[in-house]
Structures are given as C-alpha cells and as structure tokens.
A and B are shown apart, each in its own frame.
Chain A
Amino acid sequence: MCGNEALAEAAIRAGLDAYFGYPITPQNEITAYLAKRMPEEGRVFVQSESELAAINMVFGAAATGKRTMTSSSSPGVSLMQEGLSYLAGAELPSVVVNVMRGGPGLGNIAPAQADYFQSTRGGGHGDYRTIVLAPSTVQEIVDSTGLAFDLADMYRMTVLILIDGILGQMMEPIVMKDAPPRKDLPAKDWALTGARGRNQNIVRSLWLGEGVLEQLNEHLKQKYAEITEKETRCYCHQIEDAEIILVSYGVCARVVRSAVDKARQNGIKAGWIRPFTLWPFPSKTIAEAAKPDVPFLVVEMSMGQMLEDVQLSLMGKAPTCLLGRAGGGVPTVEQVLKKIEQTLDKTNNSTLKT
C-alpha cells in the first residue's frame, strides 16, 4: 500500500471514529481512502470546507471523547494552528497528519521537511507542545498511527504524524494489524456526553480568574516533562566509535542509512542517530554522544530546522553542520557522502559550525 493509504487503514484499525479533512496535495489519498472506508465501517467521514473547519470538527468530536483525526499538508496545517492551540489549551486528544510539501507560501507539491519548526515549536499561540512522530518507512507509518492514538488518549494531547510527499506516495509491503486502544488508558470522564446523573462538564481554554491560567500552564509544563521522560524515542547506529554522526529523520534517514553504510565500506567511521519523536526531541541521546572532535552532520529537507535542536542538545560540546535541501529537493546518497568527506576534511574547517 502507499504510505498515505496505509496510514488511513491503520487509523481505522486503531478505532478511528471520525475523520474530517480537506483536499490538498500530496495527501489526497488519505481523504479518498477514508471517504470510502469510513462509511463501510459505519464511522464518520466529512469533507470539510477548509482545513480551519476540519481542525474544529476534530475539536468537537474529540470533546465528546471520540478518536478523531485530520490530515493535511503544510499550507493547510498552517490554517490549523489556531485549532492546535485550542486543542492544547482544552487538553483534548487528537491526531493530525502533515504530509509535508515545499514552502513557504503555496510552494510546490514536492516533498519537504520544512515544517519542523511549525510542528515542534507549536505554530499556534501560547505555551504548548504537540507530540511529533516521524516515521521513515511505510511500516513505521502504520505502527506510528496506533501509537499516535494511544499517546493522544494517554496524555490528552495532539499527536502530529509528520511525513512527507515521498513517504506518502511510496509503496512498500507492510503488515497491517488491528491496533485497539491500550487497556491502561485513562477514562474520558471529562468528555461531553450529556450531563446525565452528573455535574456539567465544560471543555474550555479560557480562564480569567486570578492565577488560574498560570496554573493550567504549570500543569501543562509538568505533563510535557512527563512525556519527555517517558515517550522520547530514537534509533542509533554505530555511533560509539563514529568520527562523524549524522542526524536525520523521515525519508532523509533512509538516504543517510545508505550513505553511512557506504562510508563505512570506504573506511569512514560514520554513524547515525534517527529521532523518531521530534518532540520530545532525543536531546539526551545526542548530548551523550557528543565529543569535541566528532561533528554532527544534520541532513534534512529544510534550510536548517532540526539543526537548531541538535545544536541546543549539544550546547557547544560538538561541532555541527548541515546538508539542507529545500523546495522539493531530496538529498542523494552521493551528496551525503560528499558532505561527510567535506566535513571530515581536516584542511577545510570552515564547514564546521559549533
């Protein structure tokens, strides 16, 4: 199955009750697939009038305790930022998929990874975070989806699944299985279900009372700390003896994996770190791998966004550099190899940035 359709089916297997979405390339396979499959399963599908409406429909369904999802691509996700802020403030669980494309502006429909800031820094207003998962194979997309719904329900958070136009279109063999909700998820007794035999439930994010909003923010901060403690996920390969460590995610990680294997064959001791959660970012793993003479080469399809998180994690303890492509450009194995060699070239230190 292609990545987009696999994600859609995986969502159904995870108990998706309602999908709301608006067409935008390159994720239209998700809306088309769910338009057909959701009614087959007796569940809700609505093509909304805009991404703005879609995220608000998600807000409504989530508030009643349902598993709900929307998907879009970069410009559409920009329109959802207000909704993401409200979802965070009201602490509602939801899953949002961003199949990234070139930007800024209307950009193009080619793949990109330029929404890293938007995803991890929170593009909407206020102090909040969303969990960000970055699969790099179609199987991982399938596995991330069930995980996303569980994390969303566990922590009353929005979970963003971040893929790109290549992964969305890519076809790979997968194993698809049912992924019902985990048994240890907390009950949704805050949900709006009609106040039968209980006090009213209110879902809100406005708190005008003296000090109350600050309390909410403190609570969110603690929640985010707990998530950082328990849910950070990344993969590492051959970093213990590495003379250069590459950091990448999503489709770039596949290119980097091949490049590192080839580099090793050529006698270069390269290794890689692949964050799977972009938030919470595996700062500890990166910091622990830091050595002053081992550069970290960040390979991403942006002009340097995850680079900043790597630099923050290192706090100057190791040099960093970037191989960035934008607007649909995808790094090739050859380009990465060349960059590895350039970076390690002892005579040309100007490529290194601490």
Chain B
Amino acid sequence: MKTVFSKTPTLKECSTHYCPGCGHGIAHRLLAEVIDELDIRDKTIGIAPVGCAVLAYEYLDIDMIEVAHGRAPAVATGMKRTNPDKVIFSYQGDGDLAAIGTAEIMHAAHRGERITVIFINNAIFGMTGGQMAPTTMLGQVTATSPEGRQADGTGYPMQISEMLSIMPGVCYVERCAISGIAAIRNTKRAIKHAVELQMTNQPGLSLVEILSPCPTYWRMKPANAMKWIEDEMVKVFPLGKIKDAAAKK
C-alpha cells in the first residue's frame, strides 16, 4: 500500500493546545503543507500573534517570532525590508488584526509590503475567554455581548478584507473557510497562491482571510460550528477572491 496522506515535516509531531475541532490545527497544517510543497522551510520566517495561536512556533518547524498584540505587520515590515529574499508571513486572529492591530495592517497594506498575512477570523476572542471581536456577528452572544451583539453601540462585523482590497498596495485578497473538505482544499490553494506571489516578488501585500470554527466559544459541536460558518458567517463574510492584481484578465 502506498501512503496517500501523512503529516508534512514542517508540522511538528506533537499535541496542540487547541480545543477539539478548532480551525487553527487545520490552518497550521495547510500552511505547513504549502511550505513543504514549495520547499521554502529554510527561507521562511513566521510571525505568531497574541491569541490562541500564540504558541504557533511549537507546532510549525520554521524560524518564528512572537510579537506584541496586533503589531505583526509592522514587525513583518522590519523583517521583509531587511531580508527581501525571505518569505515572511504573519498569522493573526481577528483581535490581533482587526482590533488592536488595524493601524499596522492598514499601513503595511498601504505601503505595499511584500508579505503574506494569514488572517484567521473566528468571530470571537478565543484566548481570553470568548469576548466580542470586531468580526463578531450581530446577535452573537459572547462574554462582552451577553445579550447578543447590537449594531447600535458596538457596530457591525468588520469586513477587513473588503476594506483592504481597495488599496493599491494590496495585490491579493481572498476569503476562504475551514468549514468542510472543499472549503479546506480551497483555503490551501489560496494560501499557496499568496505565498507564491511573495516568492515571485509581486508588488503588494497578500492576505488570505480564513473563516474558522471556534466550537468552544460558539457553544457548538465541531461539526455544527463548521456548518454555522457555511450557513451564517458567509452571509456577512462572503467567500471568494476579492482582489488578485496578478491574475490574467
């Protein structure tokens, strides 16, 4: 028999701290598979966020750095400008990127930094106990929106990808999901495309937003959490390629 699926080398053999059914495990694996398939382990530097994935360097066997909450795009700028031949990616959650780090992502995008941003959107702040995030859905009950999110007073779920896509400094934005087999495969294709753009020195920032399940704080079983993404989240966060400056017309 031949092996048709086994763990890719850049994903470390270990038990993660993620909850059962958390999307991070899948996202990490896809990223590791892309790194191995493109054979770039020895020139990739990753930036871990503050969030559930703060220990991403325990799971991904590449040079990695852990930075202050939200600052990853600025750190990535410092790294890429001084090391243009390296593949630099940041891996950020919705608190990291869309709350505290909005200035940093906006300006890295605005300057057209040639970095890849993996944006994990699970509509909640997981690490700190399930508080409302900028991307939390209206009506969603969280630790800081116990009656369900109201637009009046807390605003609407933030559509960062759409906002970033209008900037000339952004070359590629796609929104994907970890909500089923086809969606997962598509997410991997998008991640690979984003990294390849950086490798071919395409001017501009590439960002892949990944809708990801948080069964624990959505108070759902893992399979139902994935279904909630497909049934509900995509109404506010539609999937698909939002911008691809390098695509042939």
A56 touches B66 (CB 8 A): no
Minimum CB distance partner of B58 in chain A: A202
> Does A49 reach chain B (CB closer than 8 Å)?
yes
The residue on A at minimum CB distance from B75 is A60
Question: CA–CA, A120 to B246, complex, Å?
Answer: 50
A60 and B65 contact, Cβ closer than 8 Å, known pairs A17-B82, A44-B82: yes
Which one of A62-70, A136-144, A159-167, A323-331 is at the B interface? Answer: A62-70
Whether A64 lies near B83 (C-beta < 8 A) is yes
Tell me if A193 is interfacial: C-beta within 8 Å of chain B: yes
Closest residue of chain B to A92, judged by CB? Answer: B65
Given A20-B78, A63-B79, verify A202-B64 contact (CB < 8 Å): yes
Q: B79's contact among A54, A60, A202, by CB below 8 Å, is which? A: A60
Cβ-based interface call for B160 (8 A): no
Q: Is A59 an interface residue (CB 8 A)?
A: yes
Q: What is the minimal beta-carbon distance from B42 to any residue of chain A, in angstroms?
A: 4
For A191-202 the 0/1 string (1 means CB < 8 A from B) is 011111100111
Interface locus among B103-111, B228-236, B237-245? B103-111
Task: Report B-chain residues with C-beta under 8 Å of the C-beta of A53.
Answer: 71, 74, 77, 103-104, 107
**Residue total for B at the interface (Cβ-Cβ under 8 A):** 34
Contacts of A206 in B (CB 8 A): 54-55, 66
- Chain B residues with CB under 8 Å of A50's CB are 103
Task: Give the distance in Å from the alpha carbon of A200 to the alpha carbon of B59 in the complex.
Answer: 11
Q: What chain B residues lie within 8 Å of A193 (beta carbons)?
A: 63, 83, 86
A86 — which chain B residues lie within 8 A by C-beta? 67-68
A64–B41 Cα gap in the complex (Å)? 16
A44-B82, A46-B77, A68-B82 known; A56+B67 contact, CB < 8 A: yes
Number of A-B pairs, beta carbon distance below 8 Å:
127
Given B79, B103, B107, which contacts A192 in the complex, CB threshold below 8 Å?
B79
What 0/1 readout, one digit per residue, does chain A (178-213) give for beta carbons within 8 Å of chain B? 000000000000001111110011111110000000
List which A121-141 residues lie within 8 A (CB) of chain B: none
Q: Is B81 an interface residue (CB 8 A)?
A: yes
Q: How far is the CA of A250 from the CA of B78 in the complex (A)?
A: 31
Main secondary structure of the interface of A (DSSP, over half): mixed
- Say yes or no for A57: interface residue by CB 8 A criterion: yes
Q: Report the count of interface residues on A (CB-CB < 8 A).
A: 39
Contact B107 A83 (CB under 8 A): no
Q: Which of A46, A58, A82 contacts B111 (CB 8 A)?
A: A46
Q: How many Å from the CB of B78 to the closest CB on chain A?
A: 3
How far apart are the CA atoms of A56 and B65 in the complex, in Å?
A: 12
- Assess whether A18 is interfacial by the CB under 8 Å rule: yes
Is B57 an interface residue, CB under 8 A from the partner?
yes
> Which residue of B has the minimal Cβ distance to A194?
B43
Closest B residue to A192 using CB positions? B63
Closest partner residue, chain A, to B83 (CB atom): A64
B40 to chain A: closest residue by CB: A194
B76 at the interface (CB under 8 A from A): yes
Q: Which residues of A contact B64 (CB under 8 A)?
A: 192, 200, 202-203
Q: A49–B103 contact, CB under 8 A?
A: yes
Are B61 and A200 neighbours in the complex by a CB distance under 8 Å?
yes
Q: Chain B residues near A192: list those with CB within 8 A.
A: 45, 63-65, 79
B81-118 contacts to A (CB < 8 Å): 81-83, 86, 103-104, 106-107, 110-111
A-B contact pairs, 6 of them (CB 8 A): A48-B107, A49-B107, A64-B82, A86-B67, A192-B65, A195-B62
With A64-B78, A193-B83, A194-B43 given, name 18 new contacts (CB 8 A). A20-B77, A44-B82, A52-B103, A56-B67, A56-B75, A56-B78, A57-B75, A57-B78, A59-B74, A60-B82, A64-B79, A83-B71, A194-B44, A195-B42, A195-B63, A197-B42, A200-B61, A204-B57
